[in-house]
Structure 1
């Protein structure tokens, strides 16, 4: 499947007329029909109901058209940004991040960076820490914010915070009656671990924390997203550990409780290429230092 197939289908899906779509695409109708047939064969299902009068999309076709439109819109944005950068009108700065970073300092850092860098296109990409390493070395991002240390000579990995972990418990859970819970108490509960993949990830960090205290989880439920884990906690399925800043994700049916066990934390790590001396990265680091100094003064 190529981009041209998506473009052909987008035009056909919006016009629902092979003749008109072919005119808009500056091609003959027979080749367009063959391209759409090839697309349907590759997907394995019909996208066009050719027996309908007037022609209509199948349910699969309606879904595929929506996805095509979103994808092609993003492609056009990328093309426009690349053109501006290539012409020297704009610079590009990519930031990779793990989802939990969005509940801490990162949104404010991004806001300040964008205000101070009006000539820079800031591109945000959600990715795991391991994915950030590959993206940095491939040049797809300029900096990453993760939670796992990376052993890579090409990268600098600076721990900028060591965030306490808190227990996320269902409303009226029995552990809420006894003050702060311990890791030992959490082991006896069904534990919701995330992300299930890709690994290694924050999930492995949590497992290591239990092992460091001589504990092993025996009843584990794996999910891919933190929001899913918290949703299952709300449903009473189990408990989990989340970074302290996630408490900003307020829910009436979930209670966040600090731990009695000491040194249960998760680092926030800034990753960037060792040879990157660009002014844009230096500006981000300066803003980050100022933000943490301001936060420390407020605390």
Structure 2
């Protein structure tokens, strides 16, 4: 009856089979010849077959040895691959990561972050899902996403949140609005009706706009709440109100509206990265580090009269 054999015995047999010489094989594996010979004989005993024909002058593989050498190489290669995979998984180099992100991050942050992240984690399966901040928080807690790129403030219970940078807010005005040539002072919008992002979906941007307006002495009169950026832009184009949005949206052309820089330092909204407390992985840390580096170098868009 065959017995179990060890990976070490396989490695020693492969060395002898490739060298066809016990002394050279022993030198190759940094082992003296007698224990090498004993281990190869033990392997043959465990298999119940002869793998090597030995004479005083040479060593040859038997037909069984030829077949077993091929399989032994395959087994050792698989074991080495498994070892490397385990190490990569431990260091975050292998596996999967699901990242939620807000719409504005796709306009400036992600195009610069993702190539650098993929260069570092070539074997990591990365999945991206666009969603509002509130949905990201819910899916983080439900373990449906691993990392979120969102806008604070958020309920940080159970989450580790790191602010990446702050975005200036820009005014979105109907194209024939008297202030459309910009820049505008935030206080100049005090008498306007506002189109705001839905507070239910985007507490962060809603709060940033509200606090910015309060800082210059007025509460925005909200006529409509929009559930998406296209809806918000359409309502402004239809002269249903003005809006404030993160500066990234000024990179995109929108029919019927003009973007104007806001000449108030208080008009800001932060972007952050978050994951579950105690669930930090090397890949999460690397993504955060790259995002912070990129965020620190982002430049504001250039506004000119008549820009759309």
Helix, strand or coil for the counterpart of 1:174?
Answer: coil
For residues 260 and 279 of structure 1, do their structure 2 counterparts lie closer, same or farther at Cα, with a shift above 3 Å needed? closer
Q: How many residues align?
A: 209
Aligned match of 1:164: 168
Distance 1:285 1:201 in 2: 19
Are the structure 2 counterparts of residues 293 and 167 from structure 1 closer, same or farther at C-alpha, using a change threshold of 3 Å? closer
Give unpaired runs (5+ residues) of structure 2.
1-88, 300-308
In structure 2, C-alpha distance between the alignment counterparts of 1:212 and 1:240, rounded to whole Å: 17
Matches within 5 A, 1:164-203: 164-176=168-180, 179-195=182-198, 197-198=200-201, 200-203=203-206
Cα distance in 2 for residues equivalent to 1:141 and 1:275: 15
Deviation at 1:220, TM superposition (A): 1.8
Q: CA deviation at 1:162?
A: 0.9
How many angstroms apart in 2 are the aligned matches of 1:209 and 1:114?
Answer: 37
TM-score by length of 2: 0.60
Determine the C-alpha separation between the residues in 2 that align with 1:188 and 1:275.
47
| Rounded Cα–Cα distance in structure 1 between residues aligned with 2:168 and 2:298 | 16
Shift, 1:191, TM fit: 1.1
Tell me the equivalent position of 2:230: 227
- In 1, Cα distance between equivalents of 2:206 and 2:296: 30
Which residue of 190, 215, 224 corresponds with 1:212? Answer: 215
CA separation of 1:104/1:211 partners in 2, compared to 1, >3 Å: closer, same or farther?
same
Secondary structure, aligned partner of 1:184:
helix
In the other structure, the counterpart of 1:253 is 256
The match for 2:128 among 107, 124, 128 is 124
Q: Distance in 2 between matches of 1:289 and 1:160?
A: 5
Partner of 1:264: 267
The superposition leaves residues 14-61 of structure 1 with CA deviations (integer Å, 9 ceiling, x where unpaired) of: xxxxxxxxxxxxxxxxxxxxxxxxxxxxxxxxxxxxxxxxxxxxxxxx
Q: Secondary structure at the match of 1:124?
A: strand
Q: Which whole-Å CA distance do the structure 1 matches of 2:146 and 2:174 have between them?
A: 39
In 1, Cα distance between equivalents of 2:289 and 2:217: 40
Q: Secondary structure at the match of 1:277?
A: coil
Residues 164 and 291, structure 2, Cα contact 8 Å, conserved in 1? no
Q: Residue in 2 aligned with 1:146? A: 150
SS state at 2:180 partner: helix
Structure 1 position 252, deviation (Å): 5.0
User: Structure 1: how far apart are the matches of 2:225 and 2:155?
Assistant: 26
Distance 2:156 2:200 in 1: 21
TM-score, normalised to structure 1, is 0.62
Larger Rg: 2
Matched-pair contact (CA < 8 Å) for 1:192–1:239 = yes
Q: Once the 2 structures are TM-superposed, how far is the Cα of residue 288 of structure 1 from its aligned partner? A: 2.2
Q: Is the 8 A contact 2:190 2:218 kept in 1?
A: yes
Q: CA deviation at 1:219?
A: 4.6
